[in-house]
């Protein structure tokens, strides 16, 4: 397509127009000239000119190049009409000289991999050793990473003579400029694989499933990531493997809930046991533990077992186990039980209970609360 003599004039904007002004001008012209709206051939040519102008002026680098006298769309360059087109990189080459990069290696590092691994609370507390299956890329056994079929080898690219680059000379306002680009025939490798390995198609690696043994340290939690260096995917050409990351997901426990490294659970006691005191057995992660419930224990009070929580991931020791007490009030009484409770109420002068209102909560002064106060020495 011919180069517009003035892209700014094509869009109808000033040379110091802002990017927003350029965008508005293009949208307005595009609505008028789009082929779907106006199929006239002359209008279509005008639409192409407007689009070409916007393509240059909407890009800061291309606009700068155009303002300096070049055509970043590949038309007339700094040397005027008929000069070969070149890009911003070519301008830098003109100032600083062409840098030869040489052929790039077929061998590169593999990608990292991520696997989510579920563990239960006991495994998270004490650590565990697991065998896990990993679907990943490994070195091709047929070619050992070379990518070539048996009894064959890579050959030098005839287009770039093994350099991996194609050099060309372009004209600019500075004169002739030599630029280098990756060779299109070998993609910059400098060599070709005429007979790729039938197992890996020349990549030097194949996908397979393998089993590895991993050690999960004590104290992990949901979101903890464990890095296994070199256990990820093997790179192209049999390059070094990336890393494997294990992301821990802790499954909920049927009794204990975890908050940091502390554990919490709730035990429900009958009213009489809470009032008189008792000893109960609780199965913890370390086995059965005897818990002493003091006389007069209230609903919501907590008994703490030190060092019975989760192991600290960093540092020594463990969290605590907090046992929350829930006192159950009887909902059904037989005749004898009711009689005894009424006798107790009479002995304590609680036949007609009242309520004591305090800020933020209501505390009953009836039978059960007075029974609690008696055992607390009130």
Position 71 scores a pLDDT of: 62
Mean pLDDT over each residue of the chain, to the nearest integer: 83
CATH of domain 7-85: 1.10.287.110
**Which range, of 48-52, 105-109, 225-229, 286-290, averages the lowest pLDDT?**
48-52
Tell me the pLDDT tens digit for each residue of 272-294: 899 899 999 999 999 999 999 99
pLDDT, mean of residues 209-225: 95
Q: Which residues of the chain form CATH 2.60.260.20?
A: 257-328
Percent of the chain with pLDDT over 90: 53
pLDDT of residue 243: 95
Query: Is residue 80's pLDDT more than 60?
Result: no
pLDDT band per the 50, 70, 90 thresholds, residue 355: low
CATH 1.10.10.10 is the classification of domain 113-250: no
Percentage of residues of the chain with pLDDT beyond 70: 80
Give pLDDT, residue 157.
Answer: 94
Given a cut of 60, whether residue 99 has pLDDT beyond it is: no
Model pLDDT, residue 174: 57
Task: Give residue 198's pLDDT.
Answer: 95
pLDDT at residue number 144:
92
Task: Tell how far CA 71 is from the center of its chain.
Answer: 42
Taking 90 as the threshold, does the pLDDT of residue 262 lie above it? yes
Looking at the predicted structure, is the pLDDT value of residue 362 above 60?
no
Considering Cα of 73, then 75, then 78, then 80, what sign does the dihedral take? negative
- Give the Å distances, CA to CA, from 50 to 11, 23, 32, 65, 76: 6, 11, 11, 18, 18
pLDDT of residue 154: 94
Q: What is the mean pLDDT of residues 13-39?
A: 81
Range 315-331 average pLDDT: 93
Q: What angle do CA 129, 134, 136 make, to 5 degrees?
A: 150
Q: 19 or 39: whose pLDDT is higher?
A: 19
Most confident residue range from 78-92, 160-174, 357-371? 160-174
Is pLDDT at 200 greater than 80 in this prediction? yes
pLDDT of residue 315: 83
* Residue 84, pLDDT score: 35
Asked if the model's pLDDT at residue 138 lies above 50, the reply is yes
Q: Phi first, then psi: what are they for 53, rounded to 5°?
A: -65, -40
Q: Indicate whether 89 pLDDT > 50.
A: no
| CA distances from residue 221 to 262, 317, 320 in whole angstroms, order as listed | 12, 16, 16
**pLDDT(79) > 80:** no
Task: Report the range of poorest mean pLDDT among 31-35, 163-167, 279-283, 337-341.
Answer: 31-35
Q: Measured between alpha carbons, how far is 11 from 26 in angstroms, rounded to an integer?
A: 6
Residue 254 CB neighbour total at 10 angstroms: 5
CA distance 373 to 352: 17
Tell me which range, 41-45, 164-168, 169-173, 299-303, is most confidently predicted by mean pLDDT: 299-303
pLDDT band at 114 (very low <50, low <70, confident <90, very high): very high
pLDDT in tens, 37-62: 666 777 777 888 888 888 888 888 78
User: What stretch(es) of the chain map to CATH 1.10.287.110?
Assistant: 7-85
pLDDT at 43: 78
Structural fold of domain 257-328: HSP40/DNAj peptide-binding domain (2.60.260)
Output the pTM of the full model.
Answer: 0.61
Q: Where in the chain is the domain with CATH 2.10.230.10?
A: 113-250
């Amino acid at each position: 397509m011919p180069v517009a003599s003035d892209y700014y004039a094509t869009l109808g904007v000033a040379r110091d127009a802002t990017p927003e002004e350029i965008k508005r001008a293009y949208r307005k012209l595009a609505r008028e000239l789009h082929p779907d709206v106006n199929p006239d051939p002359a209008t279509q040519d005008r639409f192409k000119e407007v689009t070409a102008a916007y393509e240059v002026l909407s890009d800061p680098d291309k606009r700068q190049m155009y303002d300096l006298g070049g055509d970043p769309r590949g038309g007339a360059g700094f040397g005027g009409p008929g000069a070969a087109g070149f890009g911003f990189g070519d301008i830098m080459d003109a100032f600083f000289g062409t840098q030869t990069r040489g052929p790039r290696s077929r061998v590169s590092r593999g990608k990292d991999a991520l696997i989510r691994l579920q563990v239960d609370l006991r495994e998270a507390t004490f650590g565990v050793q697991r065998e896990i299956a990993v679907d990943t890329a490994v070195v091709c056994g047929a070619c050992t990473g070379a990518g070539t079929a048996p009894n064959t080898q890579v050959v030098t690219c005839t287009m770039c003579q093994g350099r991996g680059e194609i050099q060309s000379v372009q004209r600019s306002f500075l004169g002739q400029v030599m630029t280098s680009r990756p060779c299109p025939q070998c993609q910059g490798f400098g060599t070709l694989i005429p007979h790729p390995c039938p197992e890996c198609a020349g990549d030097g690696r194949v996908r397979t499933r393998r089993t590895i043994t991993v050690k999960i340290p004590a104290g992990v939690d949901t979101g903890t990531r464990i890095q296994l260096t070199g256990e990820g995917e093997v790179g192209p050409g049999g390059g070094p493997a990336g890393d494997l990351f294990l992301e821990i997901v802790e499954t909920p426990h049927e009794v204990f809930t975890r908050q940091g490294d502390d554990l919490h659970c709730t035990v429900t006691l009958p009213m009489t046991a809470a009032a008189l005191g008792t000893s109960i057995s609780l199965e913890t992660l370390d086995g059965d533990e005897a818990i002493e419930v003091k006389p007069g224990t209230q609903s919501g009070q907590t008994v703490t077992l030190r060092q019975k929580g989760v192991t600290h991931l960093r540092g020594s020791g463990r969290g605590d186990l907090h046992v929350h007490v829930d006192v159950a009030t009887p909902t059904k009484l037989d005749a004898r039980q009711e009689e005894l409770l009424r006798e107790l109420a009479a002995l304590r002068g609680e036949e007609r209970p009242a309520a004591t209102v305090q800020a933020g909560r209501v505390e009953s002064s009836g039978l059960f609360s007075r029974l609690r106060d008696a055992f607390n020495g009130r």
